[in-house]
Amino acid sequence: MLYLKDIGRLSLPLLTASDRLVEAYCEYLKTVRGLAKATVEKHATIAAEFLQFLEPDDRLQSLDDLHVTDIDAFLTKAGKRLGRASMQKVAAVLRAFLDFLAAEERVPLGLAAHVDSPRRYRGERLPRALPWKTVLTLLDSIDRSNPKGRRDYAMLLLIATYGLRRSEVATLDLDDIAWRAQQIRVSRSKVGTPLLLPLTDHVATSLMDYLRHGRPDTPHRRLFLRVRIPLGPIEATAVTDVFETWAARAGIRLPSLGGPHCLRHSLAMHLLRQGKPLKTIGDLLGHRSVESTCVYLRLNVDDLRDVALPLPAAQEGQS
């Protein structure tokens, strides 16, 4: 299907009223609120799901008829498949979308105030990290004798070296690699500002190997491309598929809901054990607050045990 669209043999469907509404919302998020592309995409996905939920069975004749019960029904359905952390994000996006619709006079005023979020507690969900030796085992297990293996190795090495998010890996361009300056430019998906990182010898070698012997010869400027037709940029979900495939082949048991993000957490733990300052780790990971980085201190149990002073033994006869 995607290939037929790319070569012009299959036309794209006409935009529906819901599609146009989501597009207008995205434009507002970009131009008025100045949100990063990845954040806008998350808003668009949830907004589209909400509008799609309202369509079946002629639930509403018009958005003017939208009621709190319709919102509750959507959140109840979403809550059956999502955890509390994800539901908090859904609720926040839905409130923002309803505020936008109200400003556009598409829905009654005040609906956003009725969107409840599940309660969460700071630090209740710890990052899921793999032992650093396991990370190295995973990388060593990747077969780099073929184009796909060279691409997959380079992608996962970038995450393990710099703590990149999967979307940041997928959106890297050829122009983001400054070979002479020995730097790599990463557009941080959450903060929206680029970060210049040193291009290590190991990463440079893996990227050069992929570019010379793995990357298809196409005009696409994205760094990582699909290895099968239709040739083109990979999606962020492909990074997850790559990570889970090689982890399974290596016999590595992954944390539940870990995904390639656990490599990012593993790097943070590795740097913390090396004595790197929290501020340095946070800057590398693109954290906007040091509180986001402090959560790794709770995972560092073994190191805390090593430095903890033993309590003096009670002497006999002392009360």
Q: So which residues are the catalytic ones?
A: 165, 190, 261, 264, 287, 296
Could you list the beta-strand ranges (E) of 161-281. Answer: 177-178, 183-187, 194-198
- Can you tell me the distance from the alpha carbon of 247 to that of 234, in angstroms, rounded to the nearest whole number? 19
- Can you tell me the distance from the alpha carbon of 311 to that of 317, in angstroms, rounded to the nearest whole number? 18
SS3 of residue 152 by DSSP: helix
- Can you tell me the distance from the alpha carbon of 141 to that of 252, in angstroms, rounded to the nearest whole number? 11
Question: Do residues 128 and 257 lie in contact, with contact meaning Cβ atoms separated by under 8 Å?
Answer: yes
Question: Do residues 231 and 147 lie in contact, with contact meaning Cβ atoms separated by under 8 Å?
Answer: no
Amino acid at 63: L
**Distance (Å) of CA 310 to CA 109, 216, 273, 300:** 61, 59, 21, 18
Other C-beta atoms within 10 Å of 216: how many? 14
SS3 of residue 185 by DSSP: strand
| Residues linked to residue 222 through DSSP beta bridges, in sequence order | 173
* Structure token digits, residue 251: 């016999």
